[in-house]
Amino acid sequence: MPARDELPTSVLYELPACVLIFDAAGDLRLVTRRAEALLGLSSDEIAAGLHNSETSKPGAALVSKLVSSGPADPIRLELERPDESRAEIEGSVMRVEGSTIVSLEDVSARERRERAERDFVTNAAHELQTPLAAIASAVQVLQAGAKDDVAHRDRFLAHIEVACRRLERLARALLVLARAQTGVERPRQEIVPVAVLLSSVADGLAPGRRVDVDCDADVAVLANRPLLEQALANLGQNAAKHSRGPIVLAGKRSDASVCIQVRDNGGGIGEADRDRIFERFYRGEAPTDGFGLGLSIAAEAVKAIDGELELETSSSGTSFSIRLPGARMLR
């Protein structure tokens, strides 16, 4: 029987923590079950990797790096598991009576939440500035004397109403997107009539621009409406910014899916920009007064509703396509 002050290895193996213990000679003495699961390796694979760095797998290499670093503040490392998934790992090392204890923690979910919170602040600031500027401008004109003219007053009050509706939609979309990015809540899905949605998006685009809607009344998709509407609005605003001719918003059913397109007849997107067009803050070579967030937010919104976003571009125009599961509208 083991001594009273010792615990069997089988008991230590079941500890609810990701821990590895090395003796004074540097040999691996214990790996908990949770540590094996986190690293995606058995204790034998970890030990073998530590003794042969040339053939060691990423999990063993990560442990070796921590052990060689010695006692220090927690270190943040990225781990590629055998199934090709990636995880953010926070590791720390301590020495106790000649033994080395390595403690690991998967902070991927925490990092994802923190990143999503930072993104939410940036996205909200970017998206809210346009309707807020429209409201501020309309109020200035009304205070300058337009409020005394019935026709002008009604026109600018209508501008304020449209901007307020846009603010409401933005708030809903950004909150849903933030919850989806952090994994807190899946976006609620509903049957969305595409023709009605496209008409709403068209009404909110740049005043005076011709926007054609091409969609049968019975076309519908299964999606989260606020996120889909926000994605289409951003794609439409991008088209309005980079082209002068009419913008086309189209929806077509294809087998079990529906393809929603935003098309323009501008000069297209240069080859150097195509691979980076959906990156945050990427503005390309074309002059623009934006922050390079509109297309990034559109891509994140489409991803959150499990859609596919595709780009086709040439010197005669650009087409963004969103592909989503189709739905049938009950009459």
Can you give the pLDDT at residue 289? Answer: 47
Can you give the pLDDT at residue 281? Answer: 55
Phi-psi region of 35 (alpha: psi -120 to 50; beta: other; left: phi over 0): alpha
Contacts of 36 (CB under 8 A, 6+ apart): 42, 43, 46
What is the value of pTM for the model shown? 0.53
Gap between the Cα atoms of 277 and 280, Å rounded: 9
Contacts of 88 (CB under 8 A, 6+ apart): 76, 77, 78, 79, 106, 107, 108, 111
Can you give the pLDDT at residue 286? Answer: 53
Q: Where along the chain do its domains lie? A: 13-106, 109-186, 188-331
Gap between the Cα atoms of 31 and 50, Å rounded: 13
Gap between the Cα atoms of 320 and 249, Å rounded: 10
Gap between the Cα atoms of 310 and 319, Å rounded: 8
pLDDT averaged per 10 residues, the chain (length 331)? 60 87 87 88 82 69 80 77 79 86 86 72 71 87 87 87 78 67 74 95 84 94 92 90 90 93 89 75 52 74 91 92 87 59
Q: Can you say how many angstroms the Cα of residue 1 is from the centroid of all Cα atoms in its chain? A: 55
317-327/308-314 β-pairing: antiparallel
18-22/99-106 β-pairing: antiparallel
Can you give the pLDDT at residue 194? Answer: 96
CATH architecture of 109-186: Orthogonal Bundle (1.10)
Gap between the Cα atoms of 38 and 274, Å rounded: 37
The highest-level CATH class for domain 188-331 is alpha beta
Can you give the pLDDT at residue 1? Answer: 42
Distances in Å between the Cα of 324 and the Cα atoms of 173, 196, 249 are: 18, 16, 15
DSSP annotation of 290 reads S
Topology classification of domain 13-106: Beta-Lactamase (3.30.450)
Can you give the pLDDT at residue 319? Answer: 95
Number of Cβ within 10 Å of residue 53's Cβ equals 10
Can you give the pLDDT at residue 260? Answer: 97
Token code pair at residue 328:
């049938």
